[in-house]
Amino acid sequence: MKNILITGGAGFIGSRLCEKLHEKGYNITVLDNLSQQIHGSVESSLFKKIKGKSTFIKGDVRNKEDWSRAIKGQDAVVHLAAETGTGQSMYEIEKYNDVNIMGTAYLLEILANSTHSVKKIIVASSRAIYGEGKYNCKVHGDKYPLQRKEKDMEKGEFNPKCDICNLELNLLSTDEESKIHPSSIYGINKQQQEQMVMLMGDSLGIPTVAFRYQNVYGPGQSLSNPYTGILSIFSTRILNGNNLDIYEDGLESRDFVYVDDVVEATILGIEKEQANGEVFNIGSGVATTVKEVAESLKKFYNSDINISISGKYRLADIRHNYADLNKVKTLLGFTPKYNFQKGIAEFVSWVKTQEVMEDKYEKSVQELKDKGLMK
């Protein structure tokens, strides 16, 4: 396979993937709508990175004609294009469904009803499909808790509890066999998107791979988008001299995975037959608390801003989730090369070369409050 279409290929992950595949001698076509929320109103640095390395089609996955034009002559499709803000998805439901579900449906419909040369599909799924991660109750065994109760969080009791005995649960790594129960519209979108692609790939005889990415970060991440990417949101606030207000008790955690590791895993999915028909977690395999993220960024930027832990919370937020990587290590030989401290150092070094963006975070928080999603 030499000809590869990347949807969302001018975005954060897509542009880095485009660069790496170009280096390996692939012919790349990028389909991207250059969303202003990601790229701003002028030609972004991400877009500039793929110039000369790809055939660029400015188009929208919600447009069948754009799909038909982009898919012509392609050997593989890497479908990254998506709306990604978990909180934003809870009140811009139509947009998220249009882009994430219908955009994917158009791809599959074209593959089912037209002549094409596509021999593999890679779809970007998300850890959000799991909702809360995997836990264990010392009395009742493995548990997959549903959304936390507001009455508990009001009292500052943020850790999930056993639905039988009400004891606090112990966190485990989340493997691919874990229960799927998304707690946001975005998570529901990604679950449905993954299922659609895997089902139709099997039906059409096209090898298909789904990657459930954890929280991806690194150089190229949007510093102006206040809806997604905690490292970029915190960085923009710090560089504007604004204090950080951390929700809950600061001990909520995520699996932060460096963008180059994500790209490496994605290329393995393209190139290795062992990936065909499989779904994989892609992360660092380590849980890092939000408090540690904030303190690390403050130190790296040598900042004197204040970090406060407010006890506020967002409805539908999860407490913890980090990836079990045994499957991807065994089948694809993937092991992440970046731990959090190495990755954040690279990220901060890049941020320091960029223009300081306007901090729009408070506006995004107000939107959540106005919709009754922030307490």
Query: Do the strands 120-126 and 208-213 form a parallel or antiparallel pair, or are they unpaired?
Result: parallel
Contact 99, 82 (CB under 8 A): yes
Q: Report the candidate in 214, 183, 172, 212 with the shortest Cα–Cα distance to residue 195.
A: 212
pLDDT in tens, the chain (375 residues): 899 999 999 999 999 999 999 999 999 999 999 877 666 655 678 888 999 999 999 999 999 999 999 999 999 999 999 998 888 899 999 999 999 999 999 999 999 999 999 999 999 999 999 999 999 999 999 999 998 999 999 999 999 999 999 999 999 999 999 999 999 999 999 999 999 999 999 999 999 999 999 999 999 998 888 878 899 999 999 999 999 999 999 999 999 999 999 999 999 999 999 999 999 999 999 999 999 999 999 999 999 999 999 999 987 789 999 999 999 999 999 999 999 999 999 999 999 999 998 898 888 878 878 877 777
Q: In the numeric block, which tokens belong to residue 324?
A: 């079990």
Q: Distances from the Cα of 107 to the Cαs of 73, 101, 229, 278, in angstroms?
A: 14, 10, 27, 20
In sequence order, the β-bridge partners of residue 309 are 246
- Decide yes or no: CATH 3.40.50.720 for domain 3-130+179-220+256-285+318-349: yes
pLDDT at 41 (0 to 100)? 54
Model confidence pLDDT, tens digit, residues 161-188: 999 999 999 999 999 999 999 999 999 9
Question: CATH 3.40.50.720 residue ranges in the chain?
Answer: 3-130+179-220+256-285+318-349
Q: Is the pTM of this model over 0.85?
A: yes
